[in-house]
């Protein structure tokens, strides 16, 4: 089965119907036509999806594993998603919950340029958790965003990223914002990296990376589900000296399990850090989903570098110790609005955050 | 409110909680931070999302209309989706059901290069419904796919498209497939257009369009949710003489209402024809969803050309009259596997299909 990859779906069905439903999914995700209309025996043998296993999880709910041909996915990241869930995403009785990739697929996707260890080494961060905040609200002009970068940097953060709503708007054009924010980070005299959000077409993102690079920036953020998966993978290869943060915007809309999409697939496509909604914040992910996502992002995956999981979405200083106990030090903590709410005390609140991360003593038994 | 666009969500909530939940969505889709942390009065006034209306649809289910700033979306198609549903897609109590765009947004997106009327005129198709089929299964080499194109063309179809699983795989490289299929369509001597599926990065898709164009092809297909929305919009502008079909791969079950995403948004980004799962086929869309999608694709939308709705997914010859009565003549019918199942009678079955479309007498009272 080295020439097959495994897609695992959760399917709602009656017990009497699941075998037929599984066979339908195997066809839908491969040849997408009646098998009786296929004359070629090699296609029936090598290309048509195969039902590898069906297991009942609960009455009316099944786990279905389908073995799909690696040749159909090829080396293109978008095509991989197309074959994993393209048409089946149109069926609301199915969720894509997992995927297993053989060496042929893994070798086609190079993963992060830096990843967890590279980001640590580049920033001389040691073994503590990494720290991050975000500049917002959108609507502010570049000079005011740059002031926020400067004050965050004085508080000792590793990264200050653009809010994911910042694009190339008239009130804050990309080039002007990046120049101002990069200068502000430098002026703080520390090691804080400003991380601009890149948007638009492959051409536009490429141009934005060049602008950022000219300002001495070595880390950018994009939203893979908006940017296009193939574009993301191509940009990470075109710019091997740049680290990429992946933002989950629009990634929740697809009924693909977050550990697979945000953890494993975004990592495979080259995300050095993957941002996701932490449990207990503004979003509904459970602790077990978050743990599985973190494990998918940084656990073993052939020779692919681990990504840094970045739990976020309404996190506060008060939650820092609990989050560090939950995730261990191989994590990046991202506090945004709760730091910005400190207004004129922004630098001090940021310093409290970075100090809390630096001095945290991990309990015994932390998994990672 | 000309500087605002309206996003309409369906939200599950208790009646006592809906006002607060609506306000949260308005913040999440705009500034994404606590309003108390925002000092600038112009941002509070001009950028923060505003709850325009809340209406109870049923106990525990509400329609919430949020007015979002056009300035935050700008002219980028990806950023428009980001602002419509980016972070809120991560909340499973919310579905994006509709959007209303003022002239500022509509003017930024040029819509189809040809659209319904342009495709008719270019193909001298007159007032009947348009016809289409697909070559598959993937796994076939270019010569055999070309044979299918030739036999379909002899049956008199307007369009023969690639299966959406066909990309640039080793068993059927794009350039070789397109050359063979374009030659096969020409050799049939009719007016059938072969429609290759383009995939990968913006660069790759651009190159594929050039290859196709060199073969005399003037119509291509892509999957916007995989290709990246901004890429699609950019390609439609870069190649004004090419018509674009939009495939719904990965667009389904996205908790974005299909009439909005596939009908209106894909059209706005430049889809000349939008493929979607017809009711009663392999997929679960209802007749009312299909009708709304068709209306969104071809109804009035400022100066934007109408797209052709393409109901598909397991359609058969037997259903042609009923589909024509349902959609009227402003539609493209797409039969794939059911024609391929005719094996050596492929051309004859295709001719029966095209004849059924040509001779159909529309009942009085057809809406369109």
- Residues of chain A with Cβ-Cβ distance to B283 below 8 Å are 90-91
Please tell me if residue A93 touches chain B, with a CB cutoff of 8 Å: yes
Pairing of strands A4-12, A94-100: antiparallel
Q: Which of A5-14, A247-256, A267-276, B127-136 bottoms out in mean pLDDT, i.e. has the lowest?
A: A247-256
pLDDT at residue A89 tops 90: no
Q: Hey, which residues 95-134 in chain B have their CB within 8 Å of chain A?
A: none
pLDDT at residue A368 tops 50: no
User: Closest partner residue to B78 among A199, A229, A255, by Cβ?
Assistant: A199
Cβ of A78 and B200 within 8 Å? yes
A160-190 per-position pLDDT tens digit:
999 989 999 999 999 999 999 999 999 999 9
Query: Between these two residues, A172 and B106, which has the higher pLDDT value?
Result: A172
- Residues of chain B with Cβ-Cβ distance to A251 below 8 Å are 89-90
Q: Give the Cα separation of A257 and B41 in Å (integer).
A: 40
Q: Give the Cα separation of B3 and A40 in Å (integer).
A: 57
Contact present, A99 and A259 (Cβ < 8 Å) = no
As a whole number, mean pLDDT of residues A23-28 equals 94
pLDDT at residue B254 tops 60: no
Q: Is the dihedral of CA A150, A153, A159, A163 positive or negative?
A: negative
Please tell me if residue A344 touches chain B, with a CB cutoff of 8 Å: no
CA distance A364 to chain B (A): 33
Distance of CA B212 to the CA centre of its chain: 21
What does each C-alpha distance from A291 to A283, A318, B26, B92 come to in angstroms?
A: 15, 20, 29, 19
Residue B365: pLDDT band (50, 70, 90) is: low
pLDDT at residue B367 tops 50: no
What pLDDT is attached to residue B257?
78
Cβ of A201 and B230 within 8 Å? yes
Cβ of B249 and A89 within 8 Å? yes
Dihedral pair phi/psi, residue B137, rounded to 5°: -80, 155
Cβ of B250 and A89 within 8 Å? yes
Interface probe with A: pick from B39, B45, B49, B137, most Cβ of A within 10 Å = B137
- Residues of chain A with Cβ-Cβ distance to B81 below 8 Å are 226, 250
B287-298 per-position pLDDT tens digit:
999 999 999 999
Q: Give the Cα separation of A13 and B228 in Å (integer).
A: 33
pLDDT at residue A1 tops 80: no
As a whole number, mean pLDDT of residues A121-147 equals 90
User: Closest partner residue to B164 among A74, A82, A255, by Cβ?
Assistant: A82
Q: Give the Cα separation of A235 and B100 in Å (integer).
A: 34
Residue A364: pLDDT band (50, 70, 90) is: low
pLDDT at residue B64 tops 60: yes
A127-136 per-position pLDDT tens digit:
888 898 889 8
- Residues of chain B with Cβ-Cβ distance to A89 below 8 Å are 249-254
Please tell me if residue B230 touches chain A, with a CB cutoff of 8 Å: yes
- Residues of chain B with Cβ-Cβ distance to A254 below 8 Å are 250, 253-254
Contact present, B356 and B317 (Cβ < 8 Å) = yes
B302-325 per-position pLDDT tens digit:
788 898 899 988 889 999 999 999
CA distance A105 to chain B (A): 13
Please tell me if residue A275 touches chain B, with a CB cutoff of 8 Å: no
pLDDT at residue B283 tops 80: no
CA distance B202 to chain A (A): 6
Please tell me if residue B202 touches chain A, with a CB cutoff of 8 Å: yes
User: Closest partner residue to B202 among A33, A202, A253, by Cβ?
Assistant: A202
User: Closest partner residue to A139 among B47, B169, B342, by Cβ?
Assistant: B47
As a whole number, mean pLDDT of residues B125-148 equals 90
What pLDDT is attached to residue B251?
75
Average pLDDT, chain A: 90
Contact present, A248 and A284 (Cβ < 8 Å) = no
Pairing of strands B4-12, B94-100: antiparallel
Please tell me if residue A31 touches chain B, with a CB cutoff of 8 Å: yes
ipTM of the complex: 0.84
pLDDT at residue A213 tops 50: yes
DSSP B150: H
Query: Between these two residues, A367 and B43, which has the higher pLDDT value?
Result: B43
E strand or H helix at B20? helix B18-28
What pLDDT is attached to residue B368?
41
Q: Looking up tokens 């506090």, which residue turns up?
A: A335
B194-222 per-position pLDDT tens digit:
999 999 999 999 999 999 999 999 999 99
Specify the length of chain B in residues: 368
Q: Torsion over CA of B308, B311, B317 and B322, rounded to 10 degrees?
A: -90
User: Cβ atoms within 10 A of the Cβ of A197, count?
Assistant: 26
Residue B342: pLDDT band (50, 70, 90) is: confident
pLDDT at residue A366 tops 60: no
Cβ of A89 and B226 within 8 Å? no
CA distance B277 to chain A (A): 8
Interface probe with A: pick from B230, B260, B274, B289, most Cβ of A within 10 Å = B230
Please tell me if residue A164 touches chain B, with a CB cutoff of 8 Å: yes
Residue A254: pLDDT band (50, 70, 90) is: low
CA distance B24 to chain A (A): 9
């Amino acid at each position: 089965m080295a020439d097959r990859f495994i897609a695992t779906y959760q399917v709602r069905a009656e017990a009497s119907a699941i075998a037929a439903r599984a066979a339908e999914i195997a066809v839908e995700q491969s040849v997408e036509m009646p098998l009786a209309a296929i004359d070629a025996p090699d296609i029936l043998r090598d290309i048509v999806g195969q039902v590898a296993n069906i297991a009942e999880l609960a009455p009316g709910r099944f786990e279905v594993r389908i073995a799909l041909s690696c040749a159909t996915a090829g080396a293109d990241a978008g095509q991989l998603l197309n074959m994993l869930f393209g048409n089946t995403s149109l069926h609301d009785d199915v969720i894509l919950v997992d995927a297993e990739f053989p060496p042929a697929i893994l070798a086609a996707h190079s993963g992060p340029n830096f990843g967890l260890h590279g980001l640590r080494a580049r920033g001389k961060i040691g073994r503590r958790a990494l720290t991050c905040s975000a500049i917002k609200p959108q609507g502010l002009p570049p000079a005011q965003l740059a002031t926020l970068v400067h004050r965050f940097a004085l508080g000792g953060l590793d990264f200050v990223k653009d809010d994911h709503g910042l694009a190339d708007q008239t009130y804050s054009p990309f080039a002007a914002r990046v120049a101002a924010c990069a200068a502000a980070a430098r002026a703080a005299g520390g090691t804080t990296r400003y991380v601009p959000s890149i948007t638009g077409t492959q051409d536009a993102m490429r141009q934005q990376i060049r602008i950022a690079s000219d300002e001495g920036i070595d880390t950018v953020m994009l939203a893979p589900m908006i940017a296009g998966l193939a574009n993301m993978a191509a940009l990470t290869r075109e710019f091997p000296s740049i680290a990429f943060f992946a933002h989950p915007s629009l990634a929740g809309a697809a009924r693909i399990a977050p550990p697979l999409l945000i953890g494993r697939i975004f990592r495979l496509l080259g995300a050095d850090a993957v941002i996701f909604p932490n449990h207990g914040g503004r979003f509904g992910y459970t602790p077990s989903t978050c743990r599985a996502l973190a494990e998918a992002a940084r656990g073993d995956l052939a020779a692919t570098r681990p990504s840094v999981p970045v739990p976020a979405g309404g996190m506060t200083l008060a939650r820092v110790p609990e989050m560090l106990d939950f995730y261990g030090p191989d994590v990046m903590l991202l506090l945004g609005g709760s730091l910005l709410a400190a207004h004129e005390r922004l630098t001090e609140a940021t310093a409290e955050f970075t100090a809390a991360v630096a001095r945290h003593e991990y309990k015994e038994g932390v998994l990672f």
